[in-house]
Amino acid sequence: MTAPHVRIGSGDRRGAVSARVVRFVDRLGQLAGVDGQVPVRRTSSSTTGVMASARRWRASTRWPRSLPTYWALADDLGWDTFDLIGHSMGGKAAQRVLADAPQRVRRLVTISSAPTTGVEFDAQAWELFVGAAADDAKTAAIIDHSTGNRLTQTWIDQMVAHSVERCTREAFDGYLPAWAKTDFSDEVIGKSHLVKVIVGEYDPVREITDRTLMQHYPNASLEVIPNAGHYAMFEAPIALATSVGNVHHRPVNEAMSSHRIGLLVPSSNTTMETEVPEVLRRNSALTGERFTFHSNRMRMRTVEPSELAAMNADSDRAAVELADAAVDVMAYACLVRDHVAGSGRPPRD
């Protein structure tokens, strides 16, 4: 049986920026409001999308292993290749499709996605999520937490009601072990697809995203949606629509700009290999550029003239070795050495 879905748009793939999109949604029923109340549904006139709902997924930990009804949906539509968009646990479902048939997937967009690694819960958090299937107050607590504990109770109550309307309690109970307890990360690590990772500023999954999706996909770029938590399609719909639409306007074969940064680091330094990557990670979130970091160390145990002179003398050796990694630029992570060496070339033996 073909999966339940809503078709959006009438574009085709003949244009350079047109796309066919399969959208996976979470228990709230949709990415953008099937009824049209939120303007995220249509990102481009050249895009044809189908919104596949997760509302009736049954109690099973096997669904990430195979999504036969969704394959049937793509086949019924005559789509050999397509883009994927997934929100929350729908993001994990989209990654499962990517793992199963990478040759059919053109691009992937995840929005506050559950990770392919599963999620570790302490006993209290697990009890909260398990109980939410039958207890709307616990559902409200989860929504409140996942949006940064900053939104009105009226809005939270409306979200709970929307969830109950869109998702059966059986499905709610069933999908929890699927997204929380399954791990297929080894099947996606290193996939070279163009991946756009979107997360809300106040979403608690942001830290998990940095450790999982951003590390798993070499061509992933991160965008943080301001003033949004886990449900950016409701909290910041225009910003989210723009972010998603920008992905579909990029050629599939457009390579991410990637730069290799070489660091020449004193052996006792403990800051440069954390601070420089963090600064450039923030740049990556804004520009989509990617950076990898490669360091070599020179012996300097204490900051005193004799140690600095010895380190300077060793810098050529370290630079030659670091050059073997074909880095694009080298940064000498010690300005103090310039004061010791004076102007011009540092002293050599």
* Residues 321, 296: Cα–Cα separation, whole Å: 8
- pTM for this entry: 0.65
DSSP state, residue 34: T
- For residues 202 and 323, membership in a common domain is answered with no
- Banded pLDDT at 79 (limits 50, 70, 90): confident
Predicted pLDDT at 48: 63
Predicted pLDDT at 166: 73
Residue at 314: amino acid letter: D
Range of the domain at 274: 258-341
Q: Which of 248, 273, 298 is the last residue of a domain?
A: 248
* Residues 194, 17: Cα–Cα separation, whole Å: 14
Q: Taken in order 256, 285, 146, 7, is the CA torsion positive or negative? A: negative
- For residues 230 and 158, membership in a common domain is answered with yes
Residue 322 lies in a domain: yes
Residue 273 lies in a domain: yes
- For residues 14 and 101, membership in a common domain is answered with yes
- For residues 280 and 321, membership in a common domain is answered with yes
Residue 346 lies in a domain: no
Compute the average pLDDT of residues 194-218.
92
- For residues 236 and 293, membership in a common domain is answered with no
- Banded pLDDT at 331 (limits 50, 70, 90): confident
Q: Which of 248, 274, 299 is the last residue of a domain?
A: 248
- For residues 211 and 290, membership in a common domain is answered with no
The helix/strand count (H/E) of the chain reads as 13, 10
* Residues 21, 143: Cα–Cα separation, whole Å: 27
CB 99 within 8 A of CB 184: yes
- For residues 168 and 262, membership in a common domain is answered with no
* Residues 108, 277: Cα–Cα separation, whole Å: 25
Token digits of residue 234: 């409701």
* Residues 40, 212: Cα–Cα separation, whole Å: 26
Q: What is the mean pLDDT of the chain?
A: 77
Predicted pLDDT at 68: 57
Predicted pLDDT at 341: 57
Residue 113 lies in a domain: yes
Q: CA nearest 19: which of 75, 86, 84?
A: 84
Residue 253 lies in a domain: no
- Banded pLDDT at 61 (limits 50, 70, 90): very low
> Does residue 117 carry a pLDDT above 50?
yes
Compute the average pLDDT of residues 151-178.
83
- For residues 61 and 185, membership in a common domain is answered with yes
- For residues 207 and 319, membership in a common domain is answered with no
- For residues 48 and 152, membership in a common domain is answered with yes
- Banded pLDDT at 69 (limits 50, 70, 90): low
Q: How many distinct structural domains can be found in the chain?
A: 2
* Lowest mean pLDDT segment, chosen from 57-61, 180-184, 201-205: 57-61
Residue 347 lies in a domain: no
Q: What is the CATH number of the domain that holds 35?
A: 3.40.50.1820
Entry field: residues in the chain: 349
Residue 348 lies in a domain: no
- For residues 127 and 201, membership in a common domain is answered with yes
Residue 297 lies in a domain: yes
Predicted pLDDT at 186: 93
Q: Which of 218, 248, 278 is the last residue of a domain?
A: 248
Backbone angles phi, psi at 168, to 5 degrees: -70, 150
Predicted pLDDT at 321: 92
pLDDT (tens digit per residue) in 288-312: 567 888 999 999 888 888 888 888 8
Compute the average pLDDT of residues 242-257.
65
- For residues 216 and 87, membership in a common domain is answered with yes
